[in-house]
């Protein structure tokens, strides 16, 4: 019954704290060698789920399987896991060597092998010369590398990462992100990563699981989830989207018209209309960066131009975020800056291609 | 005169008021004359020698040491466990228990002393060394609980969780991680309870069985007869003892910490 190619499997897992349900009926698999990310706002249940897998919180209902074995009642120290925390959680009174060797000691590894494995782990995280130091003698980024080394040296069945990059500053965070992914690839270790940072989630995952209010809103490859959000929440949480209630018109040759309630008409593709299950009540989702602004109307095959006025400009360096008012409604638009951003108050045309008009069924979730 | 020099003078006066009597006692302990008074007539250690040969005082000193040692052991063990429960676990009535544990600090010692005595009388149990020890544990316990609790709060839970995820059982985690990290507070609590027990007189007067004297009650008894210079010497010994103990402990801790740091620096340079 149990599929042994899954490192972790959640079957109908529920977590309740008294009256409050933190995780509602979750079904999920973490395939071998894959990098799975739980993404969501705080309080969405992502950390609770991670802690259930770790054995730090017990499962109220359902089955939790690690390598095909039910582990609901197995205490944390008997699950073979690597755990990395946001605040490193190194042992401050032990040297780096002893920190990394900690898990090996409890696995009855011979002394000589421990030294070898610790040295290898330090090589892997590119900190070969710090074995004799204490954690407080290292920088935050270095400490997190040691925490990672400590977690992987025991060759865990799953690596669990609880917001491991959140405590680092921006530049270091990107560097560590690349590093983390490289190490995960190199070791081919099944990894569950919890974050509220969408760029981390999109950049690192093989499978992205977007959570909200204790349920999985959508799971899939990052590009699929990004380009084809299954709910308004996902559309809005990942990047910036314009979500507008609309009614479907009758299909023409190539495209179907989408009549927005704000008055404009967009075009969309058959691929999108297939999702509405015959109903004409829909919501149109247009990502802010998929709208092209220009001074002149320039419609081509399947492209609609909507006239509007720029209300505010948010200058972001390589790009700018605009709020454009059209028919009394504000649209969010993110465009790369060519020489100069468009001016506040300017009359402008928003160009939207049919393939960028994603549909969600119903006027509401 | 400026405000600052007023403050300086006031400060000096306050310190004089606090410490001059103690200084007088210590000075007179070295006075050669039988009848204490200034100016001091000659330097002598004869009162310390007399102390050493006074059986009652030596016995009282031994009793105080034993009582202090046992009190600090029991208090530290119970107090540490209580602090762990308060900080690491949730259970019904936690707040009430927490308040009750610290209450002995707030209740006047005399009230506590009488209460414990009446309680044992109601149980028709005679006074004993065990009762004395119990009393001392009751009012040293809050200090241990407070000190250890404060430290424990600053030890992050995820350090313990990390240890368990690496395969250490909860018990192994306690001895490998939690205990070493909170050891300074445990030691401080132990010293606190020892010193408090060693110095205590009020409760001890109520609880001690007949024939048992601690150093404070012995001094008290001697004072009722006459003011012997031996008491000055005993006072000096008490003062030195209670001041030296924490200082020695602190310097041992510092030397150990320095040695550890130096060893790690040496290794780092060699690498």
pLDDT of residue A3: 46
Among the four given CATH numbers 3.40.50.410, 3.40.50.300, 3.40.50.10420, 1.20.1260.10, the one describing domain A6-227: 3.40.50.300
Q: What is the CATH number of the domain that holds B158?
A: 1.10.3720.10
- For residue B9, what are its two tokens? 């003078």
For residues B75 and B107, membership in a common domain is answered with yes
Task: Output the CATH code of domain A240-361.
Answer: 2.40.50.100
**Total domains, chain B:** 2
Q: Is residue B257 part of a domain?
A: no
For residues B30 and B58, membership in a common domain is answered with no
| pLDDT tens digits, one per residue of B156-189 | 899 999 999 999 999 999 999 999 999 888 988 9
Q: Which residues constitute the domain of residue B118?
A: 51-237
pLDDT above 70 (res B226): yes
For residues B64 and B154, membership in a common domain is answered with yes
d(CA A245, CA A364): 8
pLDDT of residue B270: 54
**Chain A residues in contact with chain B using a Cβ-Cβ cutoff of 8 Å:** 54-56, 75-79, 81-83, 85, 87, 89-93, 95, 102-103, 106-107, 129, 131-134, 137, 147, 150-151, 154
Q: Are B203 and B135 in contact (CB under 8 A)?
A: yes
| pLDDT tens digits, one per residue of A37-54 | 999 998 898 999 999 999
For residues B125 and B210, membership in a common domain is answered with yes
For residues B55 and B100, membership in a common domain is answered with yes
Cβ–Cβ of A56/B161 closer than 8 Å?
yes
For residues B15 and B82, membership in a common domain is answered with no
Phi, psi of B227 (to 5 degrees): -95, 95
pLDDT of residue A94: 93
For residues B139 and B170, membership in a common domain is answered with yes
Domain coordinates of chain A in residue numbers?
6-227, 240-361
Q: Is residue B133 part of a domain?
A: yes
Cβ–Cβ of A131/B271 closer than 8 Å?
yes
In 3D space, the residue among A25, A24, A27, A32 whose CA is nearest the CA of residue A6 turns out to be A32
pLDDT of residue A52: 93
pLDDT of residue B36: 61
For residues B27 and B59, membership in a common domain is answered with no
**Interchain CB contact of B73 with A (< 8 Å):** no
pLDDT above 80 (res B228): no
d(CA B82, CA B146): 10
For residues B94 and B5, membership in a common domain is answered with no
| pLDDT class of B239 with cuts at 50, 70, 90 | confident
Name A218's Cβ contacts closer than 8 Å, sequence gap at least 6: A209, A210, A225, A229, A230, A231, A234
For residues B87 and B176, membership in a common domain is answered with yes
- Residues (pLDDT < 50) of chain A are 1-3
For residues B27 and B58, membership in a common domain is answered with no
Q: Is residue B258 part of a domain?
A: no
Chain B neighbors of A56, CB-CB under 8 A: 161
Which 109-168 residues of chain B touch chain A by CB within 8 A? 156, 158-159, 161-168
Residue A105: how many other CB atoms lie within 10 Å: 16
pLDDT of residue B37: 65
CA dist A116 to A97, A110, B212, Å? Answer: 11, 10, 62
| pLDDT tens digits, one per residue of B17-33 | 988 888 888 887 787 77
Q: Say which of B159, B167, B181 has its CB closest to residue A106.
A: B167
| pLDDT tens digits, one per residue of A204-223 | 999 999 999 999 999 999 99
For residues B55 and B40, membership in a common domain is answered with no
Higher pLDDT, B54 or A66: A66
């Amino acid at each position: 019954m149990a599929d042994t190619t899954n490192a972790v499997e959640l079957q109908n897992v529920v977590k309740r704290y008294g009256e409050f349900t933190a995780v509602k009926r979750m079904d999920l698999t973490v395939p071998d060698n894959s990098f799975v990310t739980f993404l969501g706002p705080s309080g969405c249940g992502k950390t609770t789920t991670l802690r259930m897998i770790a054995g730090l919180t017990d499962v109220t209902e359902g089955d939790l399987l690690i390598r095909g074995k039910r582990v609901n009642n197995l205490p944390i120290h008997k699950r073979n896991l690597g755990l990395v925390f946001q605040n490193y959680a190194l042992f401050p009174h032990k040297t780096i060597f002893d920190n990394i060797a900690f898990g090996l000691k409890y696995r009855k590894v011979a002394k000589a092998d421990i030294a070898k494995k610790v040295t290898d782990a330090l090589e892997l995280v590119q900190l070969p010369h710090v074995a004799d130091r204490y954690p407080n003698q290292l920088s935050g980024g270095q400490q997190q590398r040691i925490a990672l080394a400590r977690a992987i040296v025991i060759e865990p069945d799953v690596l669990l990462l609880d917001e491991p990059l959140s405590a680092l500053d921006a530049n270091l965070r990107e560097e560590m992100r690349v590093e983390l992914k490289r190490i995960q690839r190199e070791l081919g270790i099944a990894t569950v990563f919890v974050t509220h940072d969408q760029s981390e989630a999109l950049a690192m995952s093989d499978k992205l699981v977007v959570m909200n209010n204790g349920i999985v809103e959508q799971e899939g490859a990052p590009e699929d989830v990004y380009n084809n959000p299954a709910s308004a929440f996902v559309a809005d949480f990942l990047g910036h989207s314009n979500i507008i209630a609309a009614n479907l018109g009758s299909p023409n040759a190539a495209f179907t018209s989408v009549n927005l309630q704000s008055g404009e008409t967009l075009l969309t593709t058959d691929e999108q209309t297939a999702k509405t299950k015959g109903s004409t009540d829909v919501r149109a989702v247009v990502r802010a960066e998929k709208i092209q602004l220009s001074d002149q109307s320039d419609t081509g095959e399947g492209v609609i131009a909507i006239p509007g006025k720029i209300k505010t400009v948010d200058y972001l360096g390589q790009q700018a975020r605009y709020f454009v008012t059209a028919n009394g409604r504000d649209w969010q638009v993110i465009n790369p800056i060519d020489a100069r951003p468009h001016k506040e108050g300017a009359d402008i045309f928003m160009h939207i291609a049919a393939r960028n008009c994603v549909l969600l069924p119903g006027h509401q979730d | 005169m400026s405000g600052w020099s007023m403050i300086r003078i006031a400060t000096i006066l306050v310190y004089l008021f606090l410490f001059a009597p103690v200084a007088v006692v210590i000075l007179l302990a070295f006075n050669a004359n039988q009848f204490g008074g200034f100016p001091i007539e000659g330097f002598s250690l004869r009162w310390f020698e007399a102390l050493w040969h006074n059986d009652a005082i030596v016995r009282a000193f031994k009793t105080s040491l034993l009582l202090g040692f046992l009190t600090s052991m029991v208090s530290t063990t119970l107090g540490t466990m209580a602090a762990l429960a308060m900080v690491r676990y949730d259970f019904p009535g936690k707040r009430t228990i927490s308040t009750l544990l610290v209450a002995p600090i707030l209740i006047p010692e005399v009230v506590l002393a009488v209460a414990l005595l009446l309680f044992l009388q109601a149980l028709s149990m005679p006074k004993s060394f065990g009762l004395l020890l119990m009393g001392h544990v009751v009012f040293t316990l809050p200090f241990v609980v407070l000190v250890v609790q404060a430290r424990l709060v600053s030890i992050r839970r995820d350090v313990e969780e990390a240890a368990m995820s690496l395969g250490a059982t909860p018990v192994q985690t306690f001895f490998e991680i939690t205990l070493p990290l909170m050891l300074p507070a445990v030691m401080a609590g132990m010293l606190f309870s020892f010193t408090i027990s060693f110095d205590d007189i009020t409760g001890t007067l109520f609880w001690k069985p007949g024939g048992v004297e601690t150093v404070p009650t012995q001094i008290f008894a001697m004072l009722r007869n006459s003011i012997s210079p031996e008491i000055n010497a005993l006072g000096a010994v008490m003062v030195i003892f209670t001041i030296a103990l924490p200082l020695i402990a602190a310097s041992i801790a510092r030397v150990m910490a320095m040695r550890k740091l130096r060893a790690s620096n040496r290794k780092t340079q060699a690498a």
